[in-house]
Amino acid sequence: MKNIIIALTITLSSFTSNATIHIVNVWNGYFQFLSADLTIQLGDTVQWLPLDSPTMIHSITSTNIPSGATAFDQIWQAPADTFFQYVPQVAGLYEYECTPHATSHGMIGSITVLEDVTGILNQETVEQQLQVYPNPATETLYLSESSQAYQYTIFTPKGECVLSGTTKKSINVSTLPVGIYHIELIGDKRRVMKFIKQ
In the three-class reduction of DSSP (H, G, I as helix; E, B as strand; rest coil), residue 121 is classed as helix
pLDDT at 122: 45
Task: Write out pLDDT tens, residues 63-94.
Answer: 999 999 999 998 877 665 567 889 999 988 99
Q: Which of 34-38, 70-74, 133-137 has the lowest mean pLDDT?
A: 34-38
> CB of 164 within 8 A of CB of 158?
no
Confidence of residue 39 (pLDDT cuts 50, 70, 90): confident
Residue ranges and CATH numbers for the domains of the chain are 2-125 (2.60.40.420), 130-197 (2.60.40.10)
Which residues in 10-122 belong to E strands, given as ranges?
Answer: 21-27, 32-34, 37-41, 45-50, 58-64, 73-76, 84-86, 92-97, 108-114
